[in-house]
Amino acid sequence: MQHRIYLDHNATAPLHLAALEAMQAALVELHGNPSSIHRDGQRARAAVEEARREVARALGASLTEVVFTSGASEANNLAVQTLHRALPPGRAIAASVVEHPSVLAPLRALEAQGRRVVWLDVDPLGRLPAPDALAARFAHEDVGAASLMLANNEIGACYDLAALAGALSGQGVWLHTDATQAIGRIPVSFGALGVHLLSLSGHKLGGPKGVGALIADPALTLAPLLLGGHQERGRRGGTENVPAIVGLGAAARVAIPEALAAAPHLAARRDRLWAGIQAAGLDACRQGDPAACLPNTLSVRFGGVDGETLLMNLDLAGISVSAGAACSAGSLEPSHVVLALGVPPEQARGAVRFSLGPRTTDAEIDATLDRLPAVVARSRIAS
């Protein structure tokens, strides 16, 4: 049987063994409701709080700043609603046009209801304007809050939110960052970034699906999406998913340091993959800024190829990759991120994303390069 090669870690990372073992123990041993006052409930509560401690420690936050959610999409929606509630009607919220759909959609909904939104374009490499230029624009357009991702999930572009926070000092702008793709790939510290809200997802960093967190500065009052319970200090109603939260805590403790240690090796393998694609003469264009890119992410546009056809043929060849955000799979429209780079729609459809993980090997990169020319050729014939 052909060895399958998994190069889709930005869509979801394999569950780390430490997270699996922690979740198995929680499923067997922690059956109490963490809101119950009896001993079984308090054991579950202690496990949730230990996981909160691990997440806080890994991301340079305090215990009270960590709010568990069902994932980054919920965390992003909670963040956007919180920014909206924090501002008077006349002030604007800013966001880049390459944000994740879970930021774009709630902002567009608010815009339809009358909230002014300032949309920030990127250049052909996916870069935002310099922090000082953004700060000047925010002042000119009366921007009171902004949601800007720390790293883009499709092209791997990294953004200097710490520099922007410094440039905005004194302007009274609330900052949210979706750090989902950055955590475990570049160092991330909530305190050092200078933002007020930070979203993360468990399954992107070796934890389970269905759990995430919003880290929130206590100076900013959250606007709960789920009402009716006092859980998470009244910030997110509903009984906590104890096994998933425990798994997230274990991933924060073990998987994040392991992934950060592997980052230089990931960058070398990513560059090895790109060099091989270039050497094969596949009429390929790299997307994003190589100088400020996640170490594991390579976005490539192949000329004359439909991305969906290429993905299917790669899958048949035993290679798992994505065309863009996993939550947009099945859409016939080209990626909004690639279009934002100024790429024509007919060319944008030829984009695919290779995203590596700590256990990706040189042999797997070489095997991908061996299979890729025939796959691209077959995809061009079929397109």
Of the pLDDT bands very low, low, confident and very high (cuts 50, 70, 90), residue 30 is: very high
Condensed to tens digits (0 to 9), the pLDDT of residues 216-247 reads 999 999 988 888 888 888 889 898 999 999 99
The residue ranges of DSSP E strands in the chain, in sequence order, are: 5-6, 66-69, 92-96, 117-120, 143-147, 174-178, 197-201, 212-216, 284-287, 297-302, 319-320, 351-355
**What would the pLDDT profile of 251-298 be if each residue is shown by its tens digit?**
999 999 999 999 999 999 999 999 999 999 999 999 999 999 999 999
What pLDDT, on a 0 to 100 scale, did the predictor assign at position 306?
85
Mean pLDDT of the region 310-328: 83
Instruction: Name, in order, each residue with C-beta under 8 angstroms of 69's C-beta and a sequence gap of 6 or more.
Output: 75, 78, 211, 212, 213, 214, 236
Q: In whole angstroms, what is the distance from residue 73 CA to residue 257 CA? A: 24
Task: Tell me which of 158, 285, 293, 327 is the catalytic residue.
Answer: 327
- Token readout for 301 is 């546009």
CA distance 181 to 378: 32
At residue 52 the predicted structure's pLDDT band, cuts being 50, 70 and 90, is: very high
pTM: 0.95
* Average pLDDT rounded to a whole number, residues 158-186: 97
Q: What is the pLDDT of residue 382?
A: 57
> Using CA atoms, how far apart are residues 208 and 350, in angstroms rounded to an integer?
31
Domains and CATH numbers, the chain: 5-14+262-382 (3.90.1150.10), 17-254 (3.40.640.10)
What is the dihedral angle through the alpha carbons of 177, 205, 102, 93, rounded to the nearest 10 degrees?
0
**Tens digits of residue pLDDT in 197-219:** 999 999 999 999 999 999 999 99
Q: How much is the pLDDT for 1?
A: 66
**Catalytic (active site) residue 293:** no
Please give the pLDDT value at position 172.
Answer: 94
SS3 82: helix
Mean pLDDT within 115-120: 98
- Cβ count within 10 A of residue 286: 16
Q: CA-CA distance, 92 to 141, in Å (whole number)?
A: 7
